[in-house]
Structure 1
């Protein structure tokens, strides 16, 4: 349950009783509601017919002003208009100071002890810190006491009732916040699009560089493979062998008179002794 829902639920019994309350009964209802523990919203109570009629009742009009004070005002407002308002009891005084603290905390996130003491009419720091701690425990605000710097650091604060005269200002503020939020969203979209384009460009450049590298490697591999083919398979000029057989007689040259040809590379066929040669024969063999 949210704080606002919780506070509204605590007001519900007074709303039920107020439907039929008029005059003195309605004034008594206002006194009870403003003093009741945990009741911090009063806008719906102000809308009841019996309570509305109090502002035109000479005997009880101050009760209506008191309820307006607790709904929208602060403790300094009470001090400034004390003569036209009923006297506050201890519970009402503490509650109004809590509500005043909420109003101050909604305006700034750093509140000095000096400012709070002046606005809440609290004479000592010890009393001020006790009041702040009590407000925190009642879920009126979330914050931290900075005793070193003598200040209250506000993180969040509950909302108070808003008078009808200020509704338009609030709507304008919300509209402005909506425009700012829309602008922030658009800026984020543009930034995200720029980042995506940058990543796409980088990816494109990586692919391009890889393709170029593959082409270079393929070309180098083909060039190296062609050179090996020429040396190993092409059959260069060094593969040719010439065997010249000079004419010889049976008793002429040869080795030990066996009648081998004059060229040192010529050999007899296997199993033969003398191999006759045709005179003038010249053989060119290719291996």
Structure 2
């Protein structure tokens, strides 16, 4: 059977009702090696067909731990759990290192956001101190974050003298749209651009001219969430609080927009009534002006000057008749 290269084709194999343990392991190896799949590994484990195939599998714990390693683990954890997970091939190790770069960058951004006033993100303050802090950040803040090569090489288990290997790995992460960043070879650090939005195209995450571009929120790809982890548990209430605050602010903004829309509609209605009245007055003014000109013309024709003109016309006619008679 030919290994499916398309993401949808590969994922559809996991939904097969006749999924066996051997087929499951083969599909998981393809999943962990696929160059375009970088998250959603835990979701695959939760599929009913996969759960059924793992039910009586003696390697269940090893399989689950290996897949979870790609979901939210790092290359350091792989070497720490060497006997509790599969032996990964070179492609899978490279992919796990790329995912580890994502986790390192995410921790750095989250850490800097806490140091930079994380409370303001949850409930923005209007105090003078908060305004001064925001003004200071807006004037002199750096829109990028840097991670030294030395730190990355230590956490990725790359020899300190093999900078070329590290840079090739980071370039793969950037071109695979795992994070928005660039290499600073002079300072020997990875520069993250947290305000640049990732864009992933096509169903398999690759760029395609025939597919519509789909923007991914944030500058770093989201990995799977380890709900059972003790380190992740404290962040769940924090995430919920942020989402609830965002919802509250969105509802308040929506209410304000609705009020402004109603006020604008009222103003437009009053303007329409006022302009109709102006047009009516203009029409009446034009009618009065026309009537006044006709009245003046009539008075001119019926006045002394008009009578004089009529007599002159009558005298001219009589003279013309007499001359015609005697000629």
Give the TM-score taking structure 2 as reference length: 0.49
Q: CA deviation at 1:66?
A: 1.3
After superposition, the C-alpha distances for 1:75-100 in whole angstroms (9 at most, x for unaligned) are 11100011122211111011000001
Q: Contact between 2:174 and 2:182, CA under 8 Å: does it hold in 1?
A: no
RMSD: 2.8
Q: Distance in 1 between the 2:187 and 2:58 partners?
A: 49
Residue in 1 aligned with 2:185? 147
Among 132, 138, 145, the residue aligned to 2:176: 138
| 1:30 is the counterpart of 2:66 | no
The residue matched to 1:106 in structure 2 has which SS?
Answer: helix
Tell me the secondary structure at the aligned position of residue 163 of structure 1.
coil
Aligned twin of 1:72: 72
Deviation per residue, 1:103-140 (Å, 9 max, x gap): 11111132111111011111211111110011100000
CA distance in 1, matches of 2:35, 2:242: 35
Q: What's 1:18 paired with? A: 14
Structure 1 position 63, deviation (Å): 2.4
Residues 51 and 64, structure 1, Cα contact 8 Å, conserved in 2: no
Mapping 1:67-106, distance limit 5 Å: 67-106=67-106
Aligned residue runs from structure 1 range 248-287, under 5 A: none
CA deviation digits over 1:29-79, x for unaligned, max 9?
111110112111213211123433427521454222211111121111100
Report the number of matched residues: 178
Query: After superposition, where does 1:1-287 map in structure 2 within 5 Å?
Result: 11-20=7-16, 21-41=19-39, 42-52=41-51, 53-54=53-54, 57-59=57-59, 61-108=61-108, 109-123=145-159, 124-155=162-193, 156-165=219-228, 169-178=234-243
Q: Whole-Å Cα distance in 2 between the matches of residues 61 and 33 of structure 1?
A: 18
Of structures 1 and 2, the larger Rg is shown by 1
Q: Residues 23 and 50 of structure 1 are in contact (CA less than 8 Å); yes or no, is this contact kept in structure 2?
A: no
Task: Return the offset for 1:181.
Answer: 6.1
Secondary structure (helix, strand or coil) at the match of 2:180 reads: strand
Which residue of 1 is the match for residue 129 of structure 2? none
Give the 3-state SS of the residue equivalent to 1:165 in structure 2: coil
* Aligned equivalent of 1:3: none
Mapped partners of 1:119, 1:10: distance in 2:
32
Could you say which structure has the higher helix fraction? 2
Gaps of 5+ in 1: 1-8, 186-287
Using the TM superposition, give the Cα deviation of residue 164 of structure 1 relative to its aligned residue in structure 2, in angstroms. 3.1
Shift of 1:174: 2.7
C-alpha deviation, 1:18, in angstroms: 1.0
- Relative to the length of structure 1, the TM-score reads 0.55
Structure with bigger RCO (C-alpha 8 Å, 6+ apart): 2
- The unaligned stretches of length 5 or more in structure 2 are 109-144, 194-218, 251-327
Distance 1:63 1:149, change over 3 A: same
CA spacing shift, 1:10–1:112, aligned 2, 3 Å: farther
Tell me: CA distance 1:82–1:113, structure 2 relative to 1, closer, same or farther (3 Å). Answer: same
**Inter-CA distance 56–146: structure 2 relative to 1 (3 Å threshold):** farther
Residues in 2 aligned to 1:55 and 1:115: alpha-carbon distance in whole angstroms: 41
Paired residue secondary structure (2:169):
helix
